Amino acid sequence: MRGTPGFVGERLREAREARGLTAVSLADLLGITRQAISLYESGESSPQPDIMEQIVNKLNFPIAFFLKPTNTVNRSAIFFRSLAAATKGDRGRGNSRIEWLSTIIVPYLRQFVSFPQANLPVLPIPDNPLRLSDDDIEEIAIDVRKKWGLGDGPISNVVLLIENNGFIVTRMDLDAPTLDAFSTFVSDDGTPYIVLGADKQSAVRSRFDTAHEVGHSILHRNFKPNRLKNALDFKGAEQQANRFASAFLVPRSKFADDFSMPTLDAFLTLKNKWLVSVGMLIKRAFDLHFISEEHYRRLWINYNRRGWRREEPLDDKLPVEHPVLLQRACRLVVESTVRTPEQILMEIPLAPKDIEKLMYLPNGYLAPSLPQVELREDYRPDDYRSALEEVDRILKGF
């Protein structure tokens, strides 16, 4: 019997991982064997029409997604914040979102709109960037600020800044407590991509996540995907990205001018100015040798006693930064009548909710939700017959 003509097995794996399913759980969901899933994903066979219909409905993807050939792009490794704790499923979901952004969403929008060109500085990064010293990274952070026309003061909006300099950024629920953000660099067109987690609503921590991923795009854009499997390489890259983020957000020279009393309350005042966490400022002061190791330890003890590890003061007052580039591009396409929402949904082979999330659009912008209808709380099944009799009585009165 014929299967599904044009079926692309790799797309099934992609869809399965995007929904957080193992091959075994998908097989159970479809009522087929694990071996059948393996054959589908390897391309050795394709699903029969009834199974294909189940796949479409259970995974919530249009059939066009499974018929679209995969696009290969040359990109760096995907850098996951908290990779050591992230599960294979978490990484799979993250990988699919980066793939859809770089191979489906952005190429589609670029047919109609022009995005800002990537404006990354050309720096003397060695073939092995892990050889860079902390002082080297401090200088690189200063060079990036100069390239982007920044002084040495606070950055008002990091996300808007990097979008204006060619980064593609989105923000979404990652449904993974071990992930804060992830990024990659596509060398084919020189575009860096960053996905920020919306799960944690802390403006200062999100700003640091953003700057951290910028650090990877600057320092580690030539890292090959397999390199991060080495624990030492992963740890070294993360430490360098942290150092870059700290130096980029809080330059050494200006921080030295602001630094006076190394107390938690003094750092809290600086948090309101620099829009970074007190915890980051403590670490920054120690890294720059502004405080001793003993004082550093005491500050963290007091920090924990105040319960600030869970939530710092001002965390509920400082606004979280939101990306706007992809959303504005889509709105421009729709509002200029270049494409209707219905056409966009037909031409992008993804589920409507996935498209809206990737473009950071409001829920229902492309596919309005159906009206919500619920049973009355006071309804009981044994009321059904009497309700019908009442309707029949009313109708007879007309």
Q: Do 152 and 237 fall into the same domain?
A: yes
Q: Is residue 246 part of a domain?
A: yes
Domains: count for the chain: 2
Q: Is residue 142 part of a domain?
A: yes
pLDDT in tens, 99-117: 999 999 999 999 999 999 9
Q: Is residue 130 part of a domain?
A: yes
Q: What's the CATH number where 190 sits?
A: 1.10.10.2910
Q: Do 142 and 60 fall into the same domain?
A: no
Domain residue limits at 37: 9-67
Q: Do 101 and 134 fall into the same domain?
A: yes
Q: Do 87 and 62 fall into the same domain?
A: no
Q: Which two tokens stand for residue 97?
A: 């979102």
E-strand stretches of 4-99? 79-80
pLDDT one digit per residue (tens) for the chain, 398 residues: 578 999 999 999 999 999 989 999 999 999 999 999 999 999 999 999 999 999 999 999 999 999 999 887 788 888 886 545 566 777 788 888 999 999 999 999 999 999 999 999 988 888 899 999 999 999 999 999 999 999 999 999 999 999 999 999 999 987 766 678 999 999 888 999 999 988 777 999 999 999 999 999 999 998 887 888 888 999 999 999 999 999 999 999 999 999 988 999 999 999 999 999 999 999 999 999 999 999 999 999 999 999 999 999 999 999 999 999 999 999 999 999 999 999 999 999 999 999 999 999 999 999 876 566 665 666 555 554 555 565 455 545 44
Q: Is residue 374 part of a domain?
A: no
Domain boundary among the residues 305, 331, 360 is at 305
Q: Do 145 and 288 fall into the same domain?
A: yes
Q: Do 90 and 39 fall into the same domain?
A: no
Residues 6 or more apart whose Cβ sits within 8 Å of residue 184: 75, 76, 77, 78, 79, 98, 102, 192, 193
Domain boundary among the residues 249, 282, 305 is at 305
Q: Do 154 and 285 fall into the same domain?
A: yes
DSSP 228: G
Q: Is residue 377 part of a domain?
A: no
Residues 6 or more apart whose Cβ sits within 8 Å of residue 17: 89, 92, 93, 95, 96
Q: Do 31 and 149 fall into the same domain?
A: no
Q: Are 188 and 74 in contact (CB under 8 A)?
A: yes
C-alpha pair distances (Å), 190 with each of 34, 185, 216, 228, 329 = 39, 7, 14, 21, 19
pLDDT in tens, 62-89: 999 999 998 877 888 888 865 455 667 7
Domain boundary among the residues 43, 67, 91 is at 67
Q: Do 27 and 126 fall into the same domain?
A: no
Residues 6 or more apart whose Cβ sits within 8 Å of residue 254: 152, 153
Q: What's the CATH number where 33 sits?
A: 1.10.260.40
Q: Whats the size of the chain, residue-wise?
A: 398
Q: Is residue 173 part of a domain?
A: yes
Q: Is residue 220 part of a domain?
A: yes
Q: Are 181 and 215 in contact (CB under 8 A)?
A: no
Distance CA 223, CA 215 (A): 13
Question: How big is the chain by its Cα radius of gyration, in Å?
Answer: 25
Q: Give the pLDDT confidence score for residue 389 in this predicted structure.
A: 60
Distance CA 339, CA 342 (A): 8
pTM over 0.85: yes
Q: Is residue 218 part of a domain?
A: yes
Q: Do 101 and 239 fall into the same domain?
A: yes
Q: Do 57 and 111 fall into the same domain?
A: no
Q: Do 155 and 122 fall into the same domain?
A: yes
Q: Give the pLDDT confidence score for residue 82 in this predicted structure.
A: 59
Which residue carries 């099944």 as its tokens? 381
